[in-house]
Each structure stands twice: as structure tokens, then as C-alpha cells.
Amino acid sequence: MTFESFGFPSLLLSNIKAMGYTAPTPIQSQAMPAVMQGRDLMGLAQTGTGKTAAFLLPILTRLVNNKPTGPRRKVRALILAPTRELAEQIHEAAMDLGRGTGIRSTTIYGGCAMSRQLSALRQGTDIVVACPGRLLDHMGQRTIDLSGVEVLVLDEGDQMFDMGFLPGIKKILAALPRQRQTLLFSATMPDAIRGLAAECLTEPETVRVGNSNPVETVSHAIYPVGQHLKTRLLQELLDRNKSGSVLVFTRTKHRAKRLAETLAKGGLSATSIQGNLSQAQRKIAMDGFRAGRYRVLVATDIAARGIDVSQIEHVVNYDVPSTPETYTHRIGRTGRASRTGEAHTFVTGEDVSMVRAIERLLREPLARKKLEGFDYNASVPAGEREFQRPPLEPRARAYDRPQAARPSRPYRPSGHSDRSASEGYTSHPAQPGDNIYASDRPAGDRPRSDRPAYGRPQGNRPLGPRVQGSRPQGGTGYSSGNR
Ligand code: AMP
């Protein structure tokens, strides 16, 4: 299938070419014919599959073929996304794909002044890419008119549900014209999303992209290690893998910040992105990472949602995720659009049940790895006490299972107070090859996929001149609360 076969206007075809897209990705081939016909869609696909263009190209075609008339433009396409970063990425993709068409797009999300959004809305915009919280604020203040919406896109439905946006989305749905096209994208299909689909889609075409499963394109490995040696192990790992961008996940904002600082002190180009940063700071960190100025980005799960950096080669789970689904979301950041990538997960004695839960979800054993020559018996490095303590957040109870192999014992490294034990933190330094980490099944690295890569050759997003429209700058926090 070629892009020419969908009937896009020639200007869009040349923009597609300029983006470096030579052929549609599977989600694009499967979804776009139905979307071009005006049908509703349930798209089961993760970020990284090319789903953004799968909905933007038909929307842009509709807008180009039926150009707005009259002095005031009404919002004709509304795209809801869970995070500001994702909203920005969609908006930028709309600008790139719609270059030269005169179509206007604007973003609406919390954490920044209303004034810029108000003036963009007053000037008139064709596409609004919004996070639900701030959009509801505008609706409450009657500063946005949604009576002309022809297409609604709900992107990353499961993430929006996880973040508690479902009641807000239902309010937004109730305020939209009944006669419209609705496209719902979600990586997974929990009951809540099934319910939402039944409520808002009419005879939808359902498209599922098989290769959205990162298991297929990513090689996974877990590294048993003591909590206190994680930073050293990471530094060693980065030293041995000198190429490619690295996204590191920690469980808390504080750990993300401190870890990035420690890595930077050690000479690595590292930065962090977490909810304590202002929007302007986050943008500097993200742009620097995308442009390759920072090789390492340390992030929390919420901050990293939907991040699209085409060439992340390594994802490191410095702390295990709190649910197995989060594992797939995290590693979905690498191996994107059928590229290959590597996922490295550091596990301590406490993480056994989560590792097993991840293996059950992936239906794959995770390879256990040990870095040859790394001193797993080293004592706590001075000045790195920060990382001795296990994360503060409670574990996801659903996955806590009795750990039969060995009871965990309080971890009290020298010079560390008893505070962690008294607060209920328990951990023990892992021993490489310790049985507690053994998989039920034989482990081995998954073979890399040799499918062709879809992405652009250069990896970094070309930030071409904006089509038109405005983009809010600065500000702090998420519309859903600062995380
Ligand atoms: P998405 O899943 O929409 O976040 O897209 C992931 C990445 O794939 C983005 O960097 C897109 O620019 C890129 N992409 C989307 N469609 C194509 C295509 N047909 N060929 C090459 N790259 C693409």
C-alpha cells in the first residue's frame, strides 16, 4: 500500500514525503481507509506505531478539501490526549503534516496561562489538541465553542483512564455534536475503555496492530543488583554501551532529579524530566534529549507518557515499574515503529513478584544478566546514600505474592540510619545468580527483529516552521495536577 492510494491532497503527499515517510505503517494501512470514509474507529495501538499520522492525515484531508469559510473559524477537530507532552507532539505533527495548507492547530492544557489559549481560540482554530482538565475549564467559562466539531480523537484512552480523566471525558462527549466521527486509540483494552467505546463509537472499524507489542522488537534483560549499587551499575552499563539515546525510569520525582544530577557529575550528558519542573524546563530537557544534546533522560512514568523520541535505543528501569502494564508502556518508548531496542531492568530482592508478573504478562521469560567484571559486592559508595533507600511509594498490592525462595531482610548499609527499617523499607543486596531471580523457564535474549525501520533517518523530529496557530509557552504543572 502506498500513501498515494488513500486519496490525500497533493500538498499532504509532499509533506509526507518531506517527513521521510516512504510507506504507511501497519496501523496507517489498516486504519486510514475506514477513517477516510468517515467511519468510527477503535484502534488498538501503542505510541510508536505511527497512529498519530493515521488520524491526522484523514483529518487534514477533510479540512483541506472543505476549507473553512467566513471570518470566524469553528473548531472542527478535537483531539484529547492524556499529557501536555503528547498534546504538543500531536500538535507538532499536525503542523508538519499540514505545512502550507493554512490549517490552524492549537494546544490547550493546564499549567500555563489561559490568555494565550484564549487569544488563539478567539482568532479561530481548526484543530484543538487538548488535555481534558483545561478543556473542561474553558468549557465551563464558555471560552471555547465546540458546536462545530466534526471529528473527535481520544488518544491513549487507557492512559487517560489511568489518570482519572474518564468522568471528564464523558462530560466533554456530552457537549459535542452527536453527528460526528469518533476515533478511539488505546494500547490496551480494559473494561472501562470497552465501555467508553460502546458509548461513543458507532459501528466502528476495529484495528489492532500486531507489532505494537514491544516484546517483539525489544530485547529484554534483568539485572539483579543491590539497591545501593544501581547507580554504579547504570554508569557501567552506559559506559559499555556508548551509542544511542537512553531513557531511564525511576519511581519518584526526587530519584529522577538526583540520579540525573549524579550521572551528570560523573561526566554523562544527562537530564531529568519530572513533575516538579516548570513546563519551560521540561521543554528544554525534552528538546535537548530529542536533539541529542543529552544522551540520557531520567524520567518518572507520568512525565514520560507518550514521549516520542524516535531513536531511544535503551530503556533502563532503574526501579521496577509498579505494574506489569507500566513495564510495557516504558519499553514501548524503545523499539518504536518496528525499530529494535534494548530494555534493561534493575531488580532487587524485593522485586521478584513484580518480575514474575511482568513475565506472565509478556508470556516470556526475561533474561537474567550479570555485567562481567562489575563488583557486585562493593560497599555503598560514599555520597550516594540517596539511592540506598527503596522507593517510597507502596507496591501494587495485586502483584504482591509471598516470596517463597527467601524472606527479605532489612537492609542497613553502613552509615545509614535505622530509619528505613523502622519505616518499613526492606531490601537486601542481590547476589548475582541468586536463585531468587531465577526464571521459571529457560531465559535467553529475544532475537532482534530485522523488520525495516519506519522512522526518519535522522531520528530527531524536524521542527519545521509552524503552519499557523499558536502554542502556549511556559507555565507549570499538568492540567490534571502536577506529577
Ligand atoms: P506515533 O506512533 O504516532 O507516535 O509515531 C511514531 C514515530 O513514527 C513518529 O516519529 C512519526 O513521525 C513516525 N512515523 C509515523 N508514520 C510513519 C511512516 N509511515 N514512516 C516513517 N515514520 C513514521
The candidate with the shortest Cα–Cα distance to 146, out of 75, 67, 68, is: 75
Q: What is the pLDDT of residue 283?
A: 83
> CA torsion sign, 437 to 440 to 443 to 446?
negative
pLDDT at 417 over 90: no
Q: What is the pLDDT of residue 124?
A: 92
Q: What is the pLDDT of residue 473?
A: 33
How far apart CA 12 and CA 10 sit, in angstroms, is 5
pLDDT at 114 over 60: yes
Q: What is the pLDDT of residue 333?
A: 65
The candidate with the shortest Cα–Cα distance to 64, out of 101, 37, 33, 23, is: 101
Q: Do domains 3-208 and 218-384 have the same CATH topology?
A: yes
> Quick one: DSSP state of residue 227?
G
Indicate which atom in ligand 1 lies nearest the CA of residue 93. 12
Q: What is the pLDDT of residues 421-471, one digit of tens each?
A: 222 222 333 333 333 333 333 333 333 233 333 333 333 332 233 333 333
Hey, whose CA ends up nearest to atom 20 of ligand 1?
Answer: 21
Q: What is the pLDDT of residue 138?
A: 97
Instruction: Copy the grid coordinates of residue 246.
Output: 537512553
Q: What is the pLDDT of residues 336-357, one digit of tens each?
A: 544 557 889 999 988 999 999 8
CATH of 3-208, one of 3.40.605.10, 3.40.50.300, 1.20.144.10, 2.40.50.100: 3.40.50.300
Q: How confident is the model at residue 331 (pLDDT cuts 50, 70, 90)?
A: confident
How far apart CA 78 and CA 59 sit, in angstroms, is 10
pLDDT at 393 over 80: no
Q: What is the pLDDT of residues 172-186, one digit of tens each?
A: 999 999 999 999 999
User: Considering only 16-25, 104-113, 413-422, which range has the smallest mean pLDDT?
Assistant: 413-422
Question: Any residues with Cβ below 6 Å from ligand 1, and which?
Answer: 21, 24-25, 28, 47-53, 308, 310, 336-337, 454-455
- What is the 3-class SS of 292-306, one letter each residue? CCCCEEEECHHHHCC
**Angle CA(269)–CA(272)–CA(276) in degrees, nearest 5?**
155
pLDDT at 323 over 50: yes
Mutate to test the pocket of ligand 1, among 308, 338, 460 (most ligand atoms within 8 A of CB): 308
For the chain, the structural domain boundaries read 3-208, 218-384
> Ligand 1 center to residue 136 CA distance, Å?
30
Radius of gyration of the chain (CA): 23
Domain covering 218-384 in this structure, CATH number: 3.40.50.300
Q: What average pLDDT does range 259-270 have in this prediction?
A: 95
Contact indicator for 196, 166 with CB cutoff of 8 Å = yes
Mutate to test the pocket of ligand 1, among 183, 212, 310, 329 (most ligand atoms within 8 A of CB): 310
Indicate which atom in ligand 1 lies nearest the CA of residue 21. 20
Indicate which atom in ligand 1 lies nearest the CA of residue 3. 19
> Ligand 1 center to residue 439 CA distance, Å?
35
Q: What is the pLDDT of residue 71?
A: 59
pLDDT at 387 over 70: no
**% the chain with pLDDT above 70:** 72
> Ligand 1 center to residue 440 CA distance, Å?
37
> Ligand 1 center to residue 413 CA distance, Å?
47
Secondary structure element (H or E) that encloses residue 185, with its range: strand 181-186
Hey, whose CA ends up nearest to atom 18 of ligand 1?
Answer: 21
pLDDT at 416 over 90: no
Determine the straight-line distance between the first and last CA of the chain, rounded to whole angstroms. 42
Pick 366 or 341 by higher pLDDT. Answer: 366
pTM of the entire predicted model? 0.57
Reduce the DSSP state of residue 129 to 3 states and report it.
strand
What is the average pLDDT value for the chain, to the nearest integer?
Answer: 77
Burial of 228 (0-12, 13-18, 19+ CB in 10 A): buried
Pick 42 or 423 by higher pLDDT. Answer: 42
> Ligand 1 center to residue 376 CA distance, Å?
40
Q: What is the pLDDT of residue 262?
A: 95
Q: What is the pLDDT of residue 187?
A: 85
pLDDT at 480 over 90: no
Contact indicator for 122, 137 with CB cutoff of 8 Å = no
Q: What is the pLDDT of residues 117-138, one digit of tens each?
A: 999 999 999 999 999 999 999 9
Q: What is the pLDDT of residue 429?
A: 35
> Ligand 1 center to residue 135 CA distance, Å?
27
Q: What is the pLDDT of residues 213-257, one digit of tens each?
A: 555 567 889 999 999 999 999 999 999 887 788 999 999 999 999
The residues, any chain, with a CB within 8 Å of residue 61's CB and separated by 6 or more, are 6, 7, 8, 9, 12, 36
Q: What average pLDDT does range 402-423 have in this prediction?
A: 29
How far apart CA 480 and CA 483 sit, in angstroms, is 8
pLDDT at 398 over 50: no
